Structure 1
Amino acid sequence: MKYRTIGTDPATRREVSILALGAMLFGSVTDEKTSFAVLDHFVEAGGTFIDTSDNYAYWVDGGLGGQSERLLGKWRRSRGVGDEIVIATKVGAEPLAPGTGYVDNAEGLSAKAVREAAERSRERLGVDRLDLLYAHIEDRTVPLGETVEAFGELTAEGTVGLLGASNHAVWRVERARALAAAAGLPGYEVLQYQHSHLRPRFDIPSPLFEDGSLGHAGPEMLSYLRAEPGLTLVAYSPLLAGAYTRPDKPLPQDYDHPGTPARLAVLREVAAETGAGINQVVLAWQIGSRLPVIPLAGASSMAQLKENLAAVDLELTDDQRARLDAVH
């Protein structure tokens, strides 16, 4: 396994595995036995970074979520897992009532909502401190300063370590970090966005945001990472839910544009040259990026996890990486 340090403050920064394990469907679609087996093998392979959210997976049973956090808490207790494993979670997108969702009825990012959600997450996970807490989605009904102060209070109390933001417009991330700095509070240091080798369109309306495909790490986000070396990008859905390799998983409409076939072609070329799978090439491309990127990949079976883990040791040549980077 390879590792990367996230965060800059010696009191909160952590060294984590360069590959993060997504636990979104653990305890719901993926049963407990399989979830525990995947988690155990991930840790045995040197994995130390696991990702969840308070609202995972509310859409499975029409509830409020919490299944993933509860399963991770049970796994932690049964295995005696301590601070050596970093579990990141998120607040802000848990539905307020069964049968609703984050689009129309999310808990939001008010000071009250952030504190109460963080307390529920700590209880489900069975921890005194959340290693990394993200603001899951934007809440433009609440002043940014209120959210920044709410996160800052939790870190000051010692119940939260690192802070992060997911699915926010870049300008709002920067404004929140500026507000935190001006107030002497910790700011967002880990950013979680959808990012893969294929490049999305940004002219498709989102059900939640007016900015188009806001959840994607587009050129502006990647430029921001270059300018701010203290930030880390955790790239979710790097394998596009199987769309690279499974005929039954069509590419999302975000990738329906003339540039996609060329990028798929070079992926296939590099996969053939290395003897690796396309998914492994995508993960290796991210892991070896000049930017601080940590791919976040879920696994619903041991076979999927082992395939993903093998990408950690896949070394792409400079020529292969240049070809992967150059295709538009």
Structure 2
Amino acid sequence: MLRRRVGGPSGPLVSALCLGALPFGTTVDQKTSFAILDRFVEAGGDLVDTADNYAFWAPGGTGDESERTIGRWLADRRRYDDVVISTKVGARPTVPGTGLETAEGLSAPVIRKAAEDSLRRLGTDRIDVYWTHIEDRSVPLEETLGALDGLVGDGKVAVLGCSNHATWRTERARATSRAHGWTGYTCVQQRYSYLQPRLDIGLPEGGHVHATAELLDYVRAEPDLTLMAYSSLLSGAYTRPDKSLPAAYDHPGTGQRLTALREVAAELGATVNQVVLAWLLGGDPPVIPIVGVSSVEQLDEALGAVALELPVELRARLDHAARG
């Protein structure tokens, strides 16, 4: 499988496709989750993304389920050295049955405890990529970043990233870490796909932040910064008739983008989902897509995108439709 560095030239070398584990243990049962993880590793994948709150909103969910499922798979398959684990802190509700309004936040005590809890659920002694899941402007950046640096110094975390942060906050955090000699963010994770939403309408899920042109330009200019994209396939809305596009994507530009996607997919003998992923993988800047699946068959379709070559003229056609 195609490989990419995460977090600059000194970061780990990982698969160019990341497996999103959000539904594992809730809407995707353990047997199926194990089968998906087995197939992903068999195909050369090794980057697995989760969080300490997946999926608290599912019926009966607490937020422990995804990490615990991955931990059981790691123990059962003895795959501790074969995968790179990416997990997050900050967005776990502190009151059962609520959402981001009671999120745990990014204070130093929360970060230290959450990291220990994640390590316990995962059954590992180190988190390879640790993300601040949301912003917490009620806590000084120095407190959050100092706590994260402490985890790196203790050997409990390797690479740091921020998710759902405004670009200016990401830059300010990186500058603050540099000024203190701390380990800084070298990964950014935002919502991003080929179709683009109208940001004035708002995204369907609370707390989601979409990658902007400013962020893409920032990542291009920072050689140590890696961009990962969640919701890269819009939860199946590209191809599934039972999944409608969110209201934010209902604008004139969407139609011409979808037409271009379908034409390019037909010419390549590929699926629309594979073309979307190939467009992200080969973009400027290149993106590591996070793909959430609920079956091995869905995973196999996504894996087919890694070897899909987008000729220059077809990529230009997609880009032109995106600008139109």
CA contact (8 A) 1:163 1:190 kept: yes
* Other-structure match for 1:28: 26
Distance in structure 2 (CA, Å) of the matches to 1:5 and 1:71:
26
* Other-structure match for 1:128: 125
Distance in structure 1 (CA, Å) of the matches to 2:87 and 2:7:
16
Distance in structure 2 (CA, Å) of the matches to 1:280 and 1:144:
39
TM-score, structure 2 as length reference: 0.96
Q: Note the C-alpha offset of 1:88.
A: 0.1
Q: 1:29 to 1:214 in 2, by over 3 A?
A: closer
Q: Note the C-alpha offset of 1:91.
A: 0.4
SS at match of 1:33: helix
Equivalent AA in structure 1 for residue 194 of structure 2? H
**Which residue of the other structure, out of 131, 140, 149, is the alignment partner of 1:143?**
140
Distance in structure 2 (CA, Å) of the matches to 1:78 and 1:179:
41
**Which residue of the other structure, out of 172, 177, 195, is the alignment partner of 1:175?**
172
**Which residue of the other structure, out of 92, 96, 99, is the alignment partner of 1:98?**
96
Alignment RMSD (CA, Å): 1.5
Q: Does 1:311 align with 2:305?
A: yes
Distance in structure 2 (CA, Å) of the matches to 1:62 and 1:168:
29
* Other-structure match for 1:320: 314
Q: Note the C-alpha offset of 1:202.
A: 1.5
What does 1:1-328 correspond to in 2, within 5 Å? 1-8=1-8, 10=10, 13-102=11-100, 104-205=101-202, 215-327=209-321, 328=323
Distance in structure 2 (CA, Å) of the matches to 1:204 and 1:170:
20
Q: Note the C-alpha offset of 1:200.
A: 1.4
How many residues are paired up?
322
Distance in structure 2 (CA, Å) of the matches to 1:137 and 1:207:
16
Unaligned runs of 5+ in 1: none
Distance in structure 2 (CA, Å) of the matches to 1:207 and 1:252:
6
Identical amino acids, percent of aligned pairs:
57
What is the CA deviation profile of residues 255-274 of structure 1, one whole-angstrom value per residue up to 9, with x for unaligned ones?
12111111111101101100
Equivalent AA in structure 2 for residue 145 of structure 1? E
Unaligned runs of 5+ in 2: none
TM-score, structure 1 as length reference: 0.95
CA contact (8 A) 1:114 1:151 kept: yes
Q: 1:206 to 1:105 in 2, by over 3 A?
A: farther
SS at match of 1:59: coil
Distance in structure 2 (CA, Å) of the matches to 1:79 and 1:69:
15
What is the CA deviation profile of residues 154-213 of structure 1, one whole-angstrom value per residue up to 9, with x for unaligned ones?
10111111000000000000000000000000111111111100111111246998xxx8
What is the CA deviation profile of residues 130-161 of structure 1, one whole-angstrom value per residue up to 9, with x for unaligned ones?
00000000111111111111111110111111
CA contact (8 A) 1:243 1:249 kept: yes
Distance in structure 2 (CA, Å) of the matches to 1:61 and 1:138:
26
